[in-house]
Amino acid sequence: MRMNAPVLSPEEIKRIHKDSIRILEEVGVKVPSEKALSILEAGGAKVDYDKQVAYITEAMVDAAFKAAPKEFLLGARNREHDLWLPTTRTVLNMDGCGSNVIDFNTGEKRLGTLQDLADVGKVFDAIPQAKVLWSCIHPEDTPNSRAAGVWATATSLINTCKHVQDEVQREDELPYIIEILKAVLGGTEEDVIERKIYSATYCTVAPLCHDKEMLEGTMALTKYKAPVLLYPMPACGSTGPASLYSNVALANAESLSSLVIYQLTTPGTPLIYGSALGRINLKTGAFLEGAVETELMMAAMVQMGKYYGLPTMAAGCLSDANSVGMQAAMEKVLTTVPLTHNDVDIIQGIGLIEGSMTLSLEQMIIDAEIFEHCMRMHQGIDVCDDKDYFEDIKAVAQGGHFLKQKSTRKAFRSDEFYNSKLIPGDTYDTWKAAGSKDMKDYAHEKVAAILAADPVCPLDANTEKLIREIMAEAAAKL
């Protein structure tokens, strides 16, 4: 039997849905975009143009759910890494738009660069469980800060052969992103629509607000039927109510408002139900990702997404630690187990610490290991005829040893026993003689080997040249 960990009962899920509808109908959402407000009004919303507030009805939400596809492709440059949602097994993603890096060579914290994004792509491709790469660093060495988003997306597409996710922060970025996607695919806009090698994250602004530039940019993207991740981020006690239940209801209301806008803009737009809720540090007011309450809310949001029949993605494997170490390991386990045990499609956050603001390449490897342990726990115990070893018990009887049994050798080669690829399991003396290495040391060695090796799936040189020309144009004109 598999281990599961629902945090909401069926009745509680329905109650939260009703609360969210009440928020939309009675409180409304601020939409500072004439374009979006007019679309909402035409779709049945009551709109206060002076306050820029739209009141969305339950009927509009129901219609949006009917229009939203329940399964779709997240394509990849290498088709072997195409990912269909919903998944049959949880996979991993990065988190986006951090600022800092723990330098792989010096161990010192510094601002992130384009080379860091390139290194991330190479390490990401070497992690089998990793399937969706959100450009995790806002590179400080981009020649034009307004082109940083385009450059980050392009750098990720050059350096990973898996699916790339990012943000359309403004509508003027979109033509460059589409040209880059066409260059990667060697095709037309129709190929961009069909292959879906790029998706966008859309963050609402808690409580109950939309960002004009990102909203209009993402609305324009829906023309290409690119998947959009709906990503609310209210924090209990600051941008959200100091109640886990009410904060989930608020976040859900924000997601439903986004759902309605995008389905009214382009019916059939693929949407992923995401979540990145949190709580505040009562001493500093900082957003806490590694808190236990954060992941309880995230697990609840996964249940809400599954209730609606949408693919799910949630921030997880998170930590507020300032370094790679014991705090990070503890928090990352605590923020991974509830998601694996609720069968989320994608966990978003590997490789990052300090509230997803700081990247560590070693942490990417460690987090993949944490994830595999959590997934093995979720698989539980398989009680079936094939696992009934009564005859072995009978043969060994009292005081014997099972190591000589053929079934033992077979079992230890099966997936019932997870054999760590990062934890050697040596005795103390063997460990001491080998240099007293810890998990971070082994992860460092693995990253060094990955970076030293040739790329697994390099981009064609002519294609890369074309992409870099588009990047230069974006830097010059944006």
pTM above 0.85, yes or no: yes
| pLDDT beyond 90 at 431 | no
pLDDT in tens, 240-261: 999 999 999 999 999 999 999 9
Encoded tokens for 418: 């997870």
Residue 103: is its pLDDT beyond 90?
Answer: yes
The answer to whether the CB of 95 falls within 8 A of the CB of 275 is no
Q: DSSP state, 459?
A: P
Report phi then psi at 292, rounded to 5: -60, -45
CATH code 3.20.20.480 for 65-379+463-474: yes
Question: What is the C-alpha to C-alpha distance for residues 201 and 152, in angstroms, rounded to an integer?
Answer: 14
CA gap 122, 137 in Å, rounded:
15
Mean pLDDT throughout 320-324?
95
Of the candidates 269, 226, 230, 223, the one whose C-alpha atom is nearest the C-alpha of residue 251 is 230
Query: Is the model's pLDDT at 1 over the cut of 80?
Result: no
In whole angstroms, what is the distance from residue 147 CA to residue 126 CA? 28
Say if residues 125 and 160 touch (Cβ distance below 8 Å). yes
Give the pLDDT confidence score for residue 283 in this predicted structure: 86
Residue 302 has pLDDT above 90, yes or no: yes
Q: Tell me the two tokens of residue 203.
A: 């963050």
Question: pLDDT category, 407, cuts 50, 70, 90?
Answer: confident
- Quick one: pLDDT band at residue 456, thresholds 50, 70, 90? confident
pLDDT at 14: 98
Tokens of 268: 């059939």
Mean pLDDT for the stretch of residues 78-82: 97
Torsion angle defined by CA atoms of residues 364, 366, 372 and 373, in that order, rounded to the nearest 10 degrees: -150
pLDDT at 59 over 90: yes
Residue 50 DSSP symbol: T
Least trusted range by pLDDT, from 67-76, 135-144, 164-173, 357-366: 135-144
Q: What is the pLDDT, as a whole number, of residue 424?
A: 79
pLDDT beyond 80 at 181: yes
Distance (Å, whole) CA 20 – CA 26: 10
The pLDDT value given to residue 406? 86
- 3-state DSSP assignment of residue 142: coil
Instruction: Please tell me the predicted confidence (pLDDT) of residue 420.
Output: 86
The DSSP code sequence of 399-431 is T--GGGSHHHHHHTTSTTS---SS-----HHHH
Region 273-291 average pLDDT: 92
199-210 pLDDT per residue, tens: 999 999 999 999
How far is it, in rounded angstroms, from Cα 273 to Cα 255?
Answer: 7
The predicted model gives 104-124 an average pLDDT of 97
- For the chain, percent of residues with pLDDT exceeding 90: 87
Q: Domain ranges for the chain, please list them.
A: 65-379+463-474
User: What does the pLDDT read at residue 422?
Assistant: 84
pLDDT at position 2 is 83
Over 90: is that where the pLDDT of 236 sits?
A: yes
Mean pLDDT of 406-427: 85
**Mean of pLDDT values over 64-73:** 98
- Can you tell me the mean pLDDT for 160-186? 97
Mean pLDDT for the chain? 95
Residue range 6-54, pLDDT digits in tens: 999 999 999 999 999 999 999 999 999 999 999 999 999 999 999 999 9
